[in-house]
Structure 1
Amino acid sequence: MDRPSYGYSAADAPPPQGPTGGPSEQPVCPRHPDRVSYVRCKRCDRPACPDCQRPTDVGVLCVDCERELARQQASTRPRTAMGGRMGRGAPVVTYTLIALNVLVFVGQTLAPQIVEQLGIFAPFRALAMPWTFLTAGFLHGGVLHLALNMYALWIMGQYLERTLGPARYAALFLVSVLGGHTAVYVIADPMGYSWLTGTVGASGGVFGLFAAAFIVGRRMGGQVAQIGVLIALNLLITFTVPNISWQGHLGGLVLGAALTAGMYALRPKASPGADRQALARRSALVHGALVVAAVLLCAVLVAVKTLLVLGG
């Protein structure tokens, strides 16, 4: 029985040359014709010199076959519904976000004047301290506030990090935090108390995760009634309990929903025989562009609000 060549065969190699330029019976490496090699690739049966040999559990492969197998394995690797790389093991991004929130809260406890003054978001100074559009999402007003947000982040984060992929999930959370504080800035009355009021909490990001979980569940054919009720209850609390930034919650919810819906709508569709690696790269570029567009939208809204305030 003939050995399968997988696109290669010993006949692909140039005829071995002897010292006088004539045919030789000594096998030579196709990549290095001046090197004699009696070791053959287990996959394509071509000679491979020591520099081109790649030891594996099933024998020696040549460098070309190793690369081809790596490409084939990458093209068949499981991917998320968004086309991202499937997360493995623990939800590292969720752990990291929770740890950052806890560490910042410890900093608030030990040095409140420094941490809060540098990180809290307030519309009147937002342009002078633009980093607060994000850093305020890691500050909290107390242990209960922190615990509720971290519990919601833990529940939603584990599910979405596996479904969206770590990078898209992290981008969604941060964009939702940005959207929440952008809404606070845009809606705040420059002549009112809200313009001077500080805002803290990861709630904008959490509401963005709520919206994403609802959209992902609907698109994947899952039951989303519980998530819908959860969103409704949280919105009810937002608008009825005093001292809660409904603007931040609503902004995170809307921008998180828009970003997730856009990712689903614009993700490349795989067809039989398609190059899945190329589709994954295209998906990453498209979704990266959506994240950039969401950030630019927030910047434009802030700029428009600023012009209106300066114009009286």
Structure 2
Amino acid sequence: MDRPSYGYSAEDAPEPQAPPVCPRHPDRVSYVRCQRCERPVCPDCQRPAAVGVLCVDCARDLERQQASSRPRNAMGGAVGRATPVVSYTIIALCVLAYVGQRVAPDLVVQLGIFAPFRALAMPWTFLTAGFLHGGILHLLLNMYALYVFGPQLERTLGHWRFAGIYLLSVVAGHTAVVLLTDPLSQNWYGGTLGASGGVFGLFAAMFIVIRRMGADAAQLIVLIALNLVITFTVQGISWQGHIGGLLMGGALTAAMYALRPKARPGSDRQAIARRSALLHAGVLAAGFVLCLALVLGRFALLPA
């Protein structure tokens, strides 16, 4: 007896469906799917999520979206740790250097103090002299100013930008000593030390930040003016170092603001942060090259 035909043949039968495989590893069968794109994902490609798992591509895309929405500092960089580690590190190094001055003054002072006549022979003193101080009152005044202004500026500018501005202000202060000291005078052979050049650089940086934020800078202007009066009226103070640090700190901060990339709706803020970092690193490099060129030019023009 023939079976009734319903219009189907063997060729019309559906083919068995192939098992799902991971797109990144086609030789691996996986019945676990990404919660976002629903593609199969093998154990090596699974990334844990709040609910279920994500594939590698979706996890990276989600990470980029989250990074783009993170808050940025005034320079366009990622906001780092809230603790002003650079400020506290500089204060600690200055205190340790002062202890070294008391324990082994001949060694620490002679190796670290800056003097124009030996600037090329001992170039590290452009920086190390900024951590030495002439007395406990000198140390306390500079450390107090750094403690007051440093943390706020560091959170605003970011750790490495703040460190670059401070250290280059110290170097610029000693560069100004070389440029503005008469090589035929006794001061050419005198020593200069102290963090004042860096502190004055922070004063100028804070002024630029306050003005860019549209806040009132009257109190800071009075503070800078009073310190300048003391600089030019009290004997024994290196006014050249203060002026050099003030100019460098203000110039670097203003240049960073001027070159800061602007973020627009929908723009890749991570890419903007990377571009901002490159531009600001270039600003700091330009400041260092300027100091180097001025010092070399000064010594090249010295009388025989």
TM-score range, shorter chain: over 0.9
Deviation digits for residues 136-159 of structure 1 (CA, Å, limit 9, x no counterpart): 000011111111101101111111
> Structure 2 matches for 1:64-143, cutoff 5 A?
64-143=57-136
SS of corresponding position for 1:82 = coil
Q: Displacement of 1:269 after TM fit?
A: 1.1
SS of corresponding position for 2:31 = coil
**Is the 2:115–2:188 contact (alpha carbons within 8 Å) kept by the matching residues of 1?**
yes
Amino acid in the other structure paired with 2:280: H
**Is the 1:87–1:161 contact (alpha carbons within 8 Å) kept by the matching residues of 2?**
no
Are residues 1:266 and 2:266 paired? no
Are residues 1:236 and 2:242 paired? no
**Percent same amino acid at aligned positions?**
68
Distance 2:82 2:167 in 1: 22
Q: Displacement of 1:25 after TM fit?
A: 4.3
> Structure 2 matches for 1:157-176, cutoff 5 A?
157-176=150-169
Of 184, 198, 204, the match for 1:211: 204
**Is the 1:36–1:49 contact (alpha carbons within 8 Å) kept by the matching residues of 2?**
yes
**2:191 equivalent in structure 1:** 198
**Is the 1:238–1:244 contact (alpha carbons within 8 Å) kept by the matching residues of 2?**
yes
Distance 1:23 1:214 in 2: 74
Q: Displacement of 1:58 after TM fit?
A: 2.5
Q: Which moved more, 1:161-170 or 1:69-78?
A: 69-78
Q: What stretches of structure 2 of length at least 5 have no aligned partner?
A: 1-14
Amino acid in the other structure paired with 1:239: F
RMSD, aligned CA: 1.2
Distance 1:138 1:51 in 2: 51
> Structure 2 matches for 1:217-232, cutoff 5 A?
217-232=210-225
**Is the 1:177–1:202 contact (alpha carbons within 8 Å) kept by the matching residues of 2?**
yes
Distance 2:16 2:87 in 1: 64
Of 288, 297, 302, the match for 2:295: 302
SS of corresponding position for 1:205 = helix
Distance 2:163 2:18 in 1: 60
Are residues 1:36 and 2:29 paired? yes
Q: Displacement of 1:38 after TM fit?
A: 1.4
**1:249 equivalent in structure 2:** 242
Q: Displacement of 1:115 after TM fit?
A: 0.6
Q: Displacement of 1:88 after TM fit?
A: 2.1
Which structure: larger Rg? 2
**Is the 2:20–2:29 contact (alpha carbons within 8 Å) kept by the matching residues of 1?**
yes
Aligned residues: 290
**2:11 equivalent in structure 1:** none
**Is the 1:137–1:202 contact (alpha carbons within 8 Å) kept by the matching residues of 2?**
yes
**Is the 2:210–2:216 contact (alpha carbons within 8 Å) kept by the matching residues of 1?**
yes
Q: Displacement of 1:23 after TM fit?
A: 5.9
Amino acid in the other structure paired with 1:109: R
Q: What stretches of structure 1 of length at least 5 have no aligned partner?
A: 1-21
Of 174, 181, 185, the match for 1:188: 181
Amino acid in the other structure paired with 2:285: V
**Is the 1:141–1:200 contact (alpha carbons within 8 Å) kept by the matching residues of 2?**
yes
SS of corresponding position for 2:86 = helix
Q: Displacement of 1:106 after TM fit?
A: 1.0
Q: Displacement of 1:59 after TM fit?
A: 2.1
Q: Which moved more, 1:273-282 or 1:178-187?
A: 273-282
Q: Which moved more, 1:289-298 or 1:268-277?
A: 268-277
Q: Displacement of 1:77 after TM fit?
A: 1.3
Amino acid in the other structure paired with 1:38: Y
**Is the 1:180–1:252 contact (alpha carbons within 8 Å) kept by the matching residues of 2?**
yes
Distance 1:95 1:243 in 2: 28
**Is the 2:82–2:155 contact (alpha carbons within 8 Å) kept by the matching residues of 1?**
no
Deviation digits for residues 33-66 of structure 1 (CA, Å, limit 9, x no counterpart): 2111111111211111000011133321111111
Distance 2:267 2:190 in 1: 53
Deviation digits for residues 228-264 of structure 1 (CA, Å, limit 9, x no counterpart): 1110111011111110100000000011111111111
SS of corresponding position for 2:81 = coil
**1:17 equivalent in structure 2:** none
